[in-house]
Amino acid sequence: MEPASGLRLDHNHHLSLREFPYIIRWRDDRCKRCGKCTAVCPVKAIEATVKVQRLVKSEGPVPAPAAVRSITHIVEQVTDMERYCTGCGTCTLVCPNEAIEPEFNPQHKFLHYKNKGGDGYKRGGRRNDPSISTLDRLKFTRISMLTDPALDAGRHEFRVRSLLGRILPPEDLPLKTVDGKLTVDKDSIFIPPVREIFPIMIGSMSIGALSPPMWEGLAMGVAYLNEVEGLPVVMCSGEGGMPPRLLRSKYLKYFIIQIASGYFGWDEIVHALPHMVEDPAAIEIKYGQGAKPGDGGLLMAQKVLKLIAKIRGVPQFVDLASPPTHQTKYSIEEAVAKMIQSMSMAFGFRVPVYPKISGTKTARAVLNNLARNPYAAALCIDGEDGGTGAAYNVSMDKMGHPIASNLRECYLDLVKQGKQNELPLIAAGGIGKKGNLAANAAALIMLGASGVAIGKYIMQAAADCFGDEYNRCNLCNTGKCPRGITTQDPKLYRRLDSDRVAERVVEVFKAADVELRKLFAPMGRSTELPIGMSDGLSIDDPAMAERLGINYAC
């Protein structure tokens, strides 16, 4: 009979810990019950509770039983799927005694259960695929020793730089000689704006997706790299506006402002236009995102606090939806052309404007349209391994196109048209997934990219983001980021030191600069970025080699 309280007993739906993706290993013998772990667990996956043990002893020469009960206070993992352990390991981080640690459970059945309420599992992070990506399988196999001038990364001066913006072919350049000197006649035709940048940029992550100290830390790091180190790294704002203080500062030139389907913050940006002392580095028009192709975004009302509301130009506590598509988009020709026109016009045609799309089989169609548009400054393609603050797991895991072949086919299309040096391609999505930032970037550059954009990597490297491809943490969408990276809760984001983030950004980019030299120098390239230098690349899979048009080496 059912108990009178109406509680339904349903033991069959009690999950065992074996179904969970991470199992907490807690050591009774080490724990001093200080409660730090339970205090910090972002999802309350662990809690203090009571354990009873009963021991029957018989110590005499004849049976003389004595039962001893002992009740202890323990730390226990809960078996509620809504409070599953994400494996973030904040408990391990704060434990003074190394008494607690989550352990990945490869037999978990998480996705079988994570659909309560009839909604699919949503999360942050990127594709949960820990296998070696194509980018990490690419090797640099054309080494100059005696066949080309052997360069030394440590000894030779390098300029690892790329160009963002449409580059006119030499025959179109209005060159003329004035007083015996070759100059460009800038008044005769439209000369598209071009920026010289470091080929690795920080991709679009919005204020809102990121916490204030995270976004500011990245921004400061970028400014530092430019101002102090002379490394022209740029960063994209993401769709969430830009703080007016930054818009009006001289540092605006290091930032690419993104416009996406929600147009958030753009009225505030327009209001700031007359006060700008510098042009932004570029404008990125977001049409798609590698992590969730064809899907939009939603910043939930509880995250829309004062700061977000002000910067995005919206009231507080409302849901902010970025639809999957721009509402005024009717065709490639019409939509892209008019967006590029509008955005170019906003900044007096002095700023490169380029669209960003998610990796797709149809990328070449977009590219060919852009190739014919004299105002299109570049094309950014975000592959399937790109990250996001929030998306359905199914979009992240199963949708999208790998970046390598997508970028390659686009580049080869440009080569066919003889325009490979005119329209830069920016590749993104999964760069540095296994930590090989420079190698992945170099591989993409040699497949044809003029630059690459990183997101997840910099969160991991600069702010110690716990997320990985074993679905560790990935709480970005919940606002409970234990590192304070993707939350608007001051109690959490005040854990993050923006000065330290900036410092790490500087270290990351300086190291990447060194590593890019270490890769390019032995291949004999130092002054020009080896864009499309695919004869330097090999892969250990013949089919991949054929698809990418590179060498097969084994």
Partner 1 sequence: MRAKTTIKKKSAVSTRQSMAKKIKPEEQIVQIKGKTALIKGKVNGKRVSSRVLEEWIQHSVQEGARELYIIADGQHGIGGRIWPRGEAIKITVEGPVGQRCGSMGMSGTEILVKNSVSDDVGWINCGAKITVLGDVTNGAWNAAAQGILYVQGSGGARCDTMTKHNPRFEPPQSWYFRNVGDSFAEFKAGGIAVVCGVNPRNTENILGYRPCVGMVGGTIYFRGPIQGYSEKDVQLLDLTEQDWQWLKTNMKPYLEAIDRMEHYKELTRSSNDWKKLMAYTPQEKRARKWFKTSTSDFRKNMWEKAVGQGGIFAEYLDHELTLLPYITTGAERRNKPVWANEKYAPPCAYACPTHIPSHKRASLIRQGKLNEALELVLQYSPLPATVCGQICPNLCMQSCTRGRLDKPLNIDKLGKLALDLPAPKKAAATGHKIAVIGGGPAGMSTAWQLALKGHTVDLYESADKLGGKIEQCIPRERLPHEILEKEISRFRELGVNLHLNTRVTKEKFDEIYKGHEVVVIAIGAHQPRKIAFPGSGDIVSAYDFLKDINSGKHPDLKGKKVVVIGAGNVGMDVCSEAFNYGAESVTSIDIQKPAAFGAEMEIAKAKGTQVVWPRLTERYDKKDRKLYFKDGSSMDADFVVMSIGDVPQLDFLPQGIHAERGWIKVNENYQTSDVKVFAIGDVTGLGLITHAIGHGRLAAEHIHYLVSHAPRFPEIKQVIPYERIKTEYYDVCKGDFTPEAEANKCMSCATCRDCRMCEATCYWGAISRVEHKDGSYEYVVDENLCIGCGFCAGICPCGVWEMVENV
363 close to 402: Cβ distance less than 8 angstroms: no
Nearest-angstrom CA–CA distance, 463 and 456: 10
Q: What's the token pair of residue 436?
A: 């090989």
Q: Which is nearer to partner 1, 223 or 452 (CB)?
A: 223
- Counting Cα atoms < 13 Å in the Cβ hemisphere of 540 gives 6
The tokens for 6 are 């109406």
**Least distance to partner 1 from the beta carbon of 183, Å?**
28
The count of residues in the chain is 554
Residue placing its CB nearer to partner 1 in the complex, 405 or 488: 488
Instruction: Return the number of the residue (218 or 428) whose C-beta is nearest partner 1.
Output: 218
Nearer to partner 1, 241 or 532 (CB): 241
The minimum distance between CB 2 and partner 1, in angstroms, equals 9
Which whole-number Å values give the CA distances from 451 to 215, 372, 399, in the listed order? Answer: 21, 21, 24
* Dihedral sign (CA 297, 282, 430, 332): positive
In the complex, the smallest distance separating the C-beta of residue 548 from partner 1, rounded to whole angstroms, is: 36
* C-beta of 510 vs 547, nearer to partner 1: 510
Cβ of residue 439: shortest distance to partner 1, in angstroms? 23
Identify the three-state secondary structure at position 298.
Answer: strand
Which of 19, 278 has the CB closer to partner 1? 278
Residue type, 482: P
SS3 of residue 98 by DSSP: coil
| Minimum CB distance to partner 1 smaller for 1 or for 64 | 1
CB 485 within 8 A of CB 456: no
> Cβ 181 to partner 1, closest distance in Å?
24
Give the span between the Cα atoms of 325 and 336, in whole angstroms.
Answer: 12
Tell the smallest beta-carbon distance from residue 515 to partner 1 (Å): 16
- Closer to partner 1 by Cβ: residue 191 or 476: 476
CB 155, min distance to partner 1, A: 5
Closest to partner 1 by CB, 52 or 178: 52
Instruction: Work out the number of other CB atoms within 10 angstroms of the CB of residue 106.
Output: 6
Would you say 89 or 386 has its CB closer to partner 1? 89
Minimum separation from the CB atom of position 507 to partner 1 (A): 8
Residue 358: strand pairing partners: 382
Beta bridge partners of 73: 50
Contacts of 166 (CB under 8 A, 6+ apart): 192, 194, 352, 374, 375, 376, 377, 378, 422, 423, 424
User: In degrees rounded to 5, what are phi and psi of residue 174?
Assistant: -80, 80
Q: Which residues contact 174 (CB under 8 A, 6 or more apart)?
A: 184, 185, 186, 188, 189, 191
Look at strands 100-104 and 22-26 and give their pairing: antiparallel
Question: Which residues of this chain interact with partner 1, rule CB under 8 A?
Answer: 1, 3-5, 7, 32-40, 47-52, 69, 71, 73, 90, 93-94, 154-155, 157, 207, 212, 215-216, 219-221, 223-224, 227-229, 243, 245-246, 249-251, 306-307, 310-311, 490-492, 494-500, 502-503, 506-507
Least Å distance between CB 358 and partner 1? 29
| Least Å from the CB of residue 527 to partner 1 | 15
Dist CA 217 CA 463 (whole Å): 9
